[in-house]
Amino acid sequence: METVLVVVHLFLAIGLVGLILIQHGKGADMGAAFGAGGAGSVFGSSGAGNFLSRTTGVLAIAFFITSLALAYFAMNTSDKGSVMANAAVEQPVAAQPAQTDLPVVPEAVAPKNDGSDVPTVK
Whole-model pTM?
A: 0.50
Phi and psi at residue 59, in whole multiples of 5°? -65, -35
pLDDT(48) > 60 = no
CA 119 to chain centre: 51
State pLDDT tens for residues 3-13.
Answer: 999 999 999 99
State pLDDT tens for residues 67-120.
Answer: 999 999 988 876 666 667 767 777 777 777 777 777 776 666 555 666 677 766
Per domain, the residue ranges of the chain are: 1-20+46-76
Average pLDDT over residues 9-36: 78
